[in-house]
Chains A and B, each alone.
Chain A
Amino acid sequence: MKTNFLKSILFIALAAGFTTSCVNDDDYAVPTLECVDSTLQKTKEVAQIPASTDISQYLADDIIEAYVTSSDEGGNFYKSISMQTLDGSKAFSVPVDVTSTFINFEPGRKVFIKMKDLYTDVSNGGMRIGGIYVNSSNVPSVGRLSESLYKTVLSRSCTIVPESDLVKTVTIAQAKNDAVINTLIDIDDVQFTDASITTTYYDPNNDTGGATNHFLVDADGNSVIFRTSSFANFAGKPVATGRGKVRGVMTKYNSDYQFVARTERDIQLTGERLAPLFSESFEGITSTGNNQFIALPGWSNVSINAGAEKWEARIFSLNKYAQMSAFGTGENNVDTRLITPAINLDNTTAEFLRFGYKTGFANGIALSVWYSTDYDGSGTAAAINAATWTQFNVNLNVQDTSYSSTFYSSGNIDMSGINGTVYVAFRYEGSAAGVTTTYQVDNIEVFGE
């Protein structure tokens, strides 16, 4: 009896001791509501931390502070935390070998970083701070911080600022800048392209490195990649069809700027979609190449001076477009008009025209854009000559000798003063002995409200 009794006491005491020690050992304890602030103080600004394309080690015992912009809550960011200064003038990312970092390092959280012995570099235009990694080709770069190093190096402060203090509203053109990488941005008045809105954020049929690159476009036709990982928790959701604001973090891969939304909440495209009254991408044409003259329904394609050469349908990199050149035609007074079908502007206001164009072998300007409200659409030189044509004031000065990889935007050409039914003419004027610049025209669109 006596011995048994003692043993049970001993057992209970020991067991209680073990339970306590187990609880203390847990790193994932329920967070206490009262934050114990870091005792660290910043000693250097982010701008004072050197970083270049070649990796280097930071040796001094300095501390910097920055605010988290990214979040792996939605699975779109993975093992990398983007941070910026409060004013957004400097930003960087910290690769870490840790997941669910958003629990401790959520957007807006001020973080202290102990810089001593960490490595820095600039990769794809963005500054990185982290460990060192040497790949199989012996190329050293900034690598992920191990979990233990992540806990030592990154110190969470109790300060958390609202995202509105960090975010900058930028246009697509402004967003595509290395200085914007890793910062929190809003892009307003944008929508996904027509091709994107019929699919999901991650589309298995459109996979680039485990993610899908969709495009956001603004009213001026500028576009930027919107990238969604297959691991994002909104990957399978249909792409938002509306127009509005997106919030997220700019990243870059090679020369491509890639906008990354952190969660589906960042996609606030709730406004009405901007849809063109008229659009032509030439993708419906089956035959392309030399002398494959454009003959779409309702369109006119006419050589005014009875020449043989007219606007051709061409294809390059799976994209079809209209092309015209006086080169090799033997014609000395080329005047060829590619005229859209009738476009009705009665039910809209604030209309504008926009198209993309490229030049090649340029030796002078040959393209101008005109409109008529009294052309009968019959597609004869006589009917075109009988109509009244007014030239749009548009700057088409690009004179490339080799084709640009992307089309230049004409910019928005005001049509708000035009009423009724309108025809738009793309007029090529050149000569085999004179200006023979090749013009390529694509994505002709008319918008209105």
Chain B
Amino acid sequence: MKKVSLIFLSIFALFISCDEDDDTTFVQENYVLGKWYVNQIGTINANNTIVYEDYINATDCEDDNLVLNENKTFEENDFEFINSSCQNFQTTGSYEVENNKIVLTYVDSEGVSVEHVLTIVTLTYEEINLSYTDTETNEIVFLKLRKE
């Protein structure tokens, strides 16, 4: 009995040493998971500096948020207070994390599949700073989000 368990132990050790040899990836995916509330939005001013402004949520509604689920689906929840009730203009779709990018894929109101690329500028468990290019203005927009 004793011998047997030793053998199993050594096999287990071998397994671990190989497992740790995995490619290093920039982003640990589990950090990205969760419900992210938009804190601030930044744009680049004439002095090439990002100016952040607090994100304004609709009063009396839940704060706008981005949910990245473990099953690779996402929800973007955008609330507005209309006719004395909160309405959620929601976008849902799937996402992939590729290196430092979060690629959101969804079908827009006209039935066209759209890809939206967010660059992860910094990431901690509680805070994520993202950037993306506004295709209408061609300017880079920065987002600071916090996990609930």
Contacts and interface: CB of A to CB of B under 8 A. Distances in A.
Given A53-B48, A57-B140, A59-B135, A148 B21 contact: no
B89 interface: no
B18 A56 contact: no
Interface in B65-123: 98-101, 117, 119, 121-122
Contacts of B11: 11, 14-15
A309 B98 CA distance: 76
Interface residues of B, number: 36
A134 B18 contact: no
A10 to B, nearest CB: 9
Contacts of B51: 138
A147 B14 CA distance: 26
B59 interface: no
B54 interface: no
B26 A148 contact: yes
B122 A134 contact: yes
Interface in A227-285: none
A140 B99 contact: no
Contacts of A55: 44, 48, 140
Interface string B122-143: 1000000101110100101010
B25 interface: yes
A134 B142 contact: yes
Interface in A105-142: 117, 119, 131-134, 137-140
Given A11-B7, A22-B17, A139-B48, 13 more contacts: A11-B11, A15-B14, A25-B18, A25-B21, A54-B44, A59-B117, A59-B135, A140-B131, A140-B140, A147-B24, A148-B24, A148-B99, A149-B26
28 contacts: A7-B4, A7-B7, A11-B7, A18-B14, A18-B15, A25-B21, A27-B23, A57-B132, A57-B133, A57-B140, A59-B133, A117-B101, A117-B117, A131-B100, A132-B131, A132-B140, A133-B121, A138-B42, A138-B50, A139-B50, A140-B48, A140-B50, A146-B99, A146-B100, A147-B26, A148-B23, A148-B26, A152-B98
Interface of B: 4, 7, 11, 14-15, 17-18, 21-26, 42, 44, 48-52, 98-101, 117, 119, 121-122, 129, 131-133, 135, 138, 140, 142
Per CB-CB distance, the 5 closest pairs between chain A and chain B, nearest first, are A146-B26, A138-B50, A57-B133, A149-B99, A25-B21
